C-alpha cells in the first residue's frame, strides 16, 4: 500500500505519494503538484530536491559513508584498480576476468585522438587554463563522432562512453604538454590507465620515463575517489544537457565546465592557493576568523559539503595517501603541516562544529598532486578525467530511465507585471 502525505492549501487537501528508496531519505513524489495545486515548489540550490532515481552512488552524509553500486569506497580503493571501479559504475557489477580484459582492451584501443583533433590545441594560447582546453577539445569530439551516434542505440552509447573514458587522459596530458611547449603525447597500450596517464604527462621523446609505482598507485586511488558522487553540480549539468538529447560529448563538455568552479571541482586548486596564502601555522587563527566572518568572502577551501555533515570518507583516504606518498617519496612539504594544523584547529572550533564543516575530498588532494609534481592548474583537470566515468554512467542511466524527460525547472517570478509599452520620445 503506497504511503501518502496530505498537503492542505487554502482548505483544499491533496495526497502526495511517498516513495521509499533502498537506503537514504524517502521522497515525496510531487510530479503532479503543479497540476493539482497550481503552485510550484521552491528549492534554490536543490537542497531538498531529488532530481532522479539512481542506483549508481549513495552518500550517507551524516555518517560519512560513500558507496559505489553498494560497495564502500574504502573497500574499492583497497581491492580494485580504477578500471575495475569504472566497469562497476558503468555496468553495476564488478567485472570477472574476461569482462575486465575486454573492457580494458576497449578502453586501451580508444585512447588515441583523431590526428586532426591535435590541431585544435594550436588555437589556444599556451597560458590558457587547461580546463578551458578540456571544455573546448572534449566538446569538439562531437564534431568527430556526432554523425554516427544514435543515443538510443545501447551499443552506440557504449562506444561513446568508452571513447570518453579512454580519451580524457590523452586530452588532459596533451593540454598539459601544450601549455609547456612540449610535444603532444601518444598513449602506450602496454601501460595501465594510471601509468599511461603519467607517461603521457611527464615522458619526453628524448629519454625513457621511469614510472614510479608509488605515484602510479596514488594516481589510481585519486581516480577511484573522484569517479562519482551522486547528483553533484557537474553530474546534474550532464544529466540536464543529456535530457535535451544532446550528444554525450557535448554533455561531458558541459560537465567539465560546471566542475571548474572553485565551489565544486576547482576547490582542490583553491586549497593549495589558500595554504600558500596562509604560509605558516602561525597565521592559521587569523584565517579561521576570516572564514567565520560573514562580511569576509574568504572561505576555508576544502571544508564543508552540501551532503557530508561528517568527515568526507574520501578526505580520510586522501589524508592517508598524503602521508604515504610524501613518506615514500621522502618529501617534507610544509603545506601538509599547515593543512594538518588547520584541520585540527577548525575541527575544535564551535563555528565549524555547529555548522558541521569537515574537510572534503579537495582538502588534501592538492598536497598529493603537488608531491606528484602536478601543477595546480591541472588538479581539476585530473578530477574531470576521473569524474568522466561517473558522468557517462549517470548519462547512460538517465538515457535508459523510462521516467526520463527533458529537464525544465520552473521559477518564482518576482519581476515587473504586464506594462504598457509607451515610448517617451
- Catalytic annotation, residues: 305, 362
Separation between Cα atoms, residue 318 and residue 148, nearest integer Å: 40
Separation between Cα atoms, residue 399 and residue 384, nearest integer Å: 21
Helix/strand/coil for 67: strand
Residue 241, CA distances (Å) to 140, 206, 234, 305, 397 in order: 16, 43, 11, 24, 14
Is position 95 an interface residue for ligand SDX (rule: CB under 6 A)? no
Is position 302 an interface residue for ligand SDX (rule: CB under 6 A)? yes
| Distance in angstroms between the alpha carbons of the first and the last residue of the chain | 67
CB burial of 391-425 (b: ≥16 within 10 Å; e: otherwise) equals bbbbbbbbbeeeeeeeeeeeeeeeeeeeeeeeeee
CB burial of 131-140 (b: ≥16 within 10 Å; e: otherwise) equals bebbbbbbbb
Output the nine-digit C-alpha cell for 151: 543515443
- For residue 246, the minimal CB distance to ligand SDX (Å) is 21
Angle at 152 between CA 151 and CA 153, to 5 degrees: 90
Is position 300 an interface residue for ligand SDX (rule: CB under 6 A)? yes
Is position 359 an interface residue for ligand SDX (rule: CB under 6 A)? no
Is position 343 an interface residue for ligand SDX (rule: CB under 6 A)? no
CB atoms < 10 A from the CB of 332, how many? Answer: 8
Is position 290 an interface residue for ligand SDX (rule: CB under 6 A)? no
Residue at shortest CB range from ligand SDX: 304
Q: Which of 161, 177, 232, 253 binds ligand SDX (CB under 6 A)?
A: 232
Is position 48 an interface residue for ligand SDX (rule: CB under 6 A)? no
Is position 236 an interface residue for ligand SDX (rule: CB under 6 A)? no
Is position 163 an interface residue for ligand SDX (rule: CB under 6 A)? no
Selected range binding ligand SDX among 14-22, 26-34, 303-311, 322-330, rule: CB under 6 A: 303-311
Angle at 23 between CA 18 and CA 28, to 5 degrees: 20
Selected range binding ligand SDX among 103-111, 136-144, 259-267, 337-345, rule: CB under 6 A: 259-267
Is position 264 an interface residue for ligand SDX (rule: CB under 6 A)? yes
Give the relative orientation of helices 362-371 and 313-328 as an angle to the nearest 10 degrees: 20
Selected range binding ligand SDX among 17-25, 193-201, 264-272, 400-408, rule: CB under 6 A: 264-272
Cβ closer to ligand SDX: 167 or 229? 229
Is position 288 an interface residue for ligand SDX (rule: CB under 6 A)? no
- For residue 92, the minimal CB distance to ligand SDX (Å) is 20
Is position 304 an interface residue for ligand SDX (rule: CB under 6 A)? yes
| 289: β partners | none
Cβ closer to ligand SDX: 169 or 304? 304
Cβ closer to ligand SDX: 301 or 382? 301
Q: Which of 287, 303, 379, 391 binds ligand SDX (CB under 6 A)?
A: 303
Q: How many residues bind ligand SDX (CB under 6 A)?
A: 22
- For residue 301, the minimal CB distance to ligand SDX (Å) is 5
Is position 360 an interface residue for ligand SDX (rule: CB under 6 A)? yes
Query: Chain centroid to CA 233: how far?
Result: 8
Which of 157, 366, 145, 204 minimizes the C-alpha distance to 271? Answer: 366
Is position 361 an interface residue for ligand SDX (rule: CB under 6 A)? yes
Output the nine-digit C-alpha cell for 288: 579561521
Is position 291 an interface residue for ligand SDX (rule: CB under 6 A)? yes
Chain positions contacting ligand SDX, by CB under 6 A: 45, 229, 232, 263-265, 267, 291, 299-307, 355, 357, 360-362
Amino acid at each position: 500500500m503506497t504511503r501518502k502525505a496530505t498537503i492542505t492549501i487554502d482548505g483544499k487537501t491533496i495526497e502526495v505519494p511517498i516513495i521509499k528508496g533502498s537506503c537514504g531519505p524517502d521522497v515525496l513524489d510531487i510530479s503532479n503538484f503543479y497540476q493539482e495545486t497550481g503552485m510550484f515548489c521552491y528549492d534554490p540550490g536543490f537542497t531538498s530536491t531529488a532530481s532522479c532515481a539512481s542506483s549508481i552512488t549513495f552518500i550517507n552524509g551524516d555518517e560519512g559513508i560513500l558507496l559505489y553500486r553498494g560497495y564502500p569506497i574504502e573497500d574499492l580503493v583497497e581491492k580494485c584498480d580504477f578500471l575495475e571501479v569504472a566497469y562497476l559504475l558503468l555496468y553495476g557489477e564488478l567485472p570477472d576476468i574476461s569482462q575486465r580484459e575486454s573492457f580494458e582492451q576497449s578502453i586501451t584501443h580508444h585512447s588515441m585522438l583523431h590526428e586532426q583533433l591535435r590541431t585544435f590545441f594550436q588555437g589556444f594560447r599556451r597560458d590558457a587554463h587547461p580546463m578551458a582546453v578540456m571544455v573546448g577539445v572534449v566538446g569538439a569530439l562531437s564534431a568527430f563522432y556526432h554523425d554516427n551516434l544514435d543515443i538510443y542505440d545501447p551499443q552506440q552509447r557504449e562506444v561513446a562512453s568508452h571513447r570518453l573514458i579512454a580519451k580524457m587522459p590523452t586530452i588532459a596530458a596533451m593540454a598539459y604538454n601544450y601549455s609547456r611547449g612540449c610535444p603532444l603525447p601518444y598513449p602506450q597500450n602496454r601501460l595501465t590507465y594510471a601509468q599511461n596517464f603519467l607517461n603521457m604527462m611527464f615522458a619526453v621523446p628524448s629519454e625513457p620515463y621511469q614510472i614510479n609505482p608509488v605515484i602510479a598507485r596514488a594516481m589510481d586511488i585519486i581516480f577511484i575517489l573522484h569517479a562519482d558522487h551522486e547528483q553533484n553540480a557537474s553530474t546534474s549539468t550532464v544529466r540536464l544537457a543529456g535530457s535535451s538529447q544532446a550528444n554525450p560529448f557535448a554533455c561531458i563538455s558541459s560537465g567539465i565546465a560546471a566542475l571548474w568552479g572553485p565551489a565544486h571541482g576547482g576547490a582542490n586548486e583553491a586549497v593549495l592557493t589558500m595554504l600558500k596564502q596562509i604560509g605558516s601555522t602561525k597565521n592559521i587563527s587569523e584565517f579561521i576568523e576570516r572564514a567565520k566572518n560573514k562580511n569576509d568572502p574568504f572561505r576555508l577551501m576544502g571544508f564543508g559539503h552540501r551532503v557530508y555533515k561528517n568527515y568526507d570518507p574520501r578526505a580520510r583516504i586522501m589524508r592517508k595517501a598524503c602521508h604515504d606518498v610524501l613518506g615514500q617519496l621522502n618529501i617534507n612539504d610544509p603545506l601538509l603541516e599547515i593543512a594538518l594544523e588547520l584541520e585540527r584547529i577548525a575541527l575544535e572550533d564551535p563555528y565549524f562544529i555547529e555548522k558541521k564543516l569537515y574537510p572534503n575530498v579537495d582538502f588534501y588532494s592538492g598536497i598529493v598532486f603537488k608531491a606528484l609534481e602536478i601543477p595546480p592548474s591541472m588538479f581539476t583537470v585530473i578530477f574531470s578525467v576521473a569524474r568522466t566515468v561517473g558522468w557517462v554512467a549517470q548519462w547512460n542511466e538517465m538515457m535508459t530511465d523510462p521516467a526520463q524527460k527533458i529537464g525544465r525547472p520552473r521559477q518564482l517570478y518576482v519581476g515587473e507585471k504586464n506594462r504598457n509599452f509607451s515610448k517617451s520620445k
